Structure 1
Amino acid sequence: MAQCPVRSCEICEKSPAKRFCKNCEQFFCHPCEISHLKIRPCRNHVFRDADKVNVEVKTPVCEQHEEIFTHYCKTCSALICYICLPTTHKTHDFCIIDDEAKKKKYSLEKEVEHAEDKITNAQIKISYIQSTLRTFEEQAEKSKKDIEERVAVIVGTLNDMKNDFLKSIDEQKLEESQKIVSEITKRVNGTNNCQQVLNKMKRAVDGKNNITLLDSFSDMTKTLKSISEMSNWKYLPVRVRFDPVSCRRTPETLIGKISFLDSPRTELQRYERSLQDLEY
């Protein structure tokens, strides 16, 4: 590690500088410090150890007299030097800089402490809001997943019901078609046979004499009766009809309902109360 060069006394420029005059803003060795304090205008100058001084921070001086400030005027709220004091501020309320700085420092420390509490409170609230946001995002993703699953179940159920309906219709259609086709075939064959019998009967009626006609009348009557019964159908096919549900259904009645509710402020209010208790 590089070492800082040893500073020389700015008065004698020979001995190493061990002390720093705040009033003159110069570095002194110990002998020069003693000599400096013996000078009447400088006897009240304040010295500090040189290694504790930040020379980059320059102490402001009076612009009018180019002297270091020694007092604080409460009436003007301004720093003044020892020349300003008896000339323009002698009737004002003033005090030594260190006394006023002590009060200001205490006030600033309280304000800084209060500001730090406010920052801490803000950080806690930010953390709470971030946690609430994460919870909302998790709930949103879960709700989306639940909706997808619910719709999948409903669609699956509807498809199953649709397939059951279609299968029932197909089975009934096949059964009814087989019955009707069988009945039609039987009726067509019977009608054709009856037509042949009827043609023969017509020819027989035309060629028979009265005695023969009366003798066969009973049989011919029975035959005609059986032919007339061919038009009497024993069975007709059933009717099929689909009746949708009477009430008009909305998606919400099938799937569910989405609600966006205000987050409960109970937790945040509890945080705020606890922080207020800490402030007091």
Structure 2
Amino acid sequence: MAQAASKTCEICVSAPGSQYCLDCEQYYCENCKSLHKRQKLSTNHLFQHASKLIPEGKSRCSQHKEEFNLMCNTCNVPVCTSCVTGNHNGHKFSKLVDVIAQLRGENEKQIRDKTNEANKNITKIVDSLTSFDNAVESVIKAITDESNNIKHMVDKSVAQMIILVKEQSMKEKDKLTQLLSAAKSVLVAGQNLDKRRQDLDKTRPDETMVQQINKMKEEINGLHFESLPEFPKISFNSKAVTEYDIRQLIGSYTLTCLR
């Protein structure tokens, strides 16, 4: 970097070059600068006042010591005017300024396209995350609801089973109670007969006693015991249920993983 000396506009070569284009590495007057900025390829070029520090000079050809002002399209390298008739004779050329402007424009467009694509991808990912979170919450709610429904059905079935056990067992208990009452009646009748027998044994034997003994005998023979049936039994047979069985009752979910 060096302090700029008084320069002439390299475009019109008549007015002072008060402005320096950092992209083209050329001095411009105010008028030529305005025209340069209006062109599509150079509208974004940056200028610096010539009175400020600017680059010492342009890049030069190491062979001819001339400034690079052309671009060899065949070799894709910057060249000077002497190279055109030398090593690059017969090649196709473009102005280096135009090539640089075009390349910068292409890079700008590619960067813009890439950033736009990145923004679109970010939007899609964020939307997908939100949608996925909502879907996860829906699945969790569905699992919870199904679990509560199964619990309700289990509680209802258990309550019905308990009621049925109580009703059936009560019937069997009533039968046993009736058998018990009948057995107690026979016992009381036998105890009464035994008491009469003991009283009769204390009396004097006579014809009346014989009649009473025979009558008692008939009453004793009339005491009947009902044959006892097979008493009721009750037990519970539990069913082996695994966690897998429970999960099968609740249902299943499908998760498509990121690929």
> TM-score band, normalised by the shorter chain?
0.5 to 0.7
1:190 to 166, 174, 186: 186
In structure 2, what is the Cα distance between the partners aligned to 1:166 and 1:190? 36
* Larger helix percent: 1
Relative to 1, partners in 2 of residues 1:47 and 1:152: Cα closer, same or farther, differing over 3 Å?
A: closer
In structure 1, what is the Cα distance between the partners aligned to 2:219 and 2:114? 115
TM, length-normalised to structure 2: 0.61
In structure 1, what is the Cα distance between the partners aligned to 2:29 and 2:192? 147
Aligned-partner residue type, residue 156 of structure 2: D
Partner SS for 1:242: coil
Relative to 1, partners in 2 of residues 1:76 and 1:152: Cα closer, same or farther, differing over 3 Å?
A: closer
Aligned-partner residue type, residue 100 of structure 1: L
Equivalent positions of 1:104-123 (< 5 A) are: 104-123=100-119
Equivalent positions of 1:158-197 (< 5 A) are: 158-197=154-193
CA contact (8 A) 2:69 2:79 kept: yes
In structure 2, what is the Cα distance between the partners aligned to 1:195 and 1:35? 150
Q: Deviations over 1:93-150 (max 9, x none)?
A: 499x981231233234334334433333333333323222222111101111111111
In structure 2, what is the Cα distance between the partners aligned to 1:47 and 1:204? 158
Aligned-partner residue type, residue 252 of structure 1: R
Gapped regions of structure 1 (runs ≥ 5): 1-9, 12-19, 24-31, 37-44, 266-280
In structure 1, what is the Cα distance between the partners aligned to 2:157 and 2:57? 95
Residue matched to 2:254: 259
Please provide the CA RMSD for this pair.
Answer: 4.6
Residue matched to 2:30: 49
Q: For residue 156 of structure 1, report the CA deviation from its aligned partner.
A: 1.2
In structure 2, what is the Cα distance between the partners aligned to 1:126 and 1:214? 119
Residue matched to 1:250: 245
Relative to 1, partners in 2 of residues 1:63 and 1:256: Cα closer, same or farther, differing over 3 Å?
A: closer
Partner SS for 1:54: strand
TM, length-normalised to structure 1: 0.57
Gapped regions of structure 2 (runs ≥ 5): 18-25, 35-46
Q: Residue 126 in 1 paired to residue 133 in 2?
A: no
Q: For residue 257 of structure 1, report the CA deviation from its aligned partner.
A: 1.4
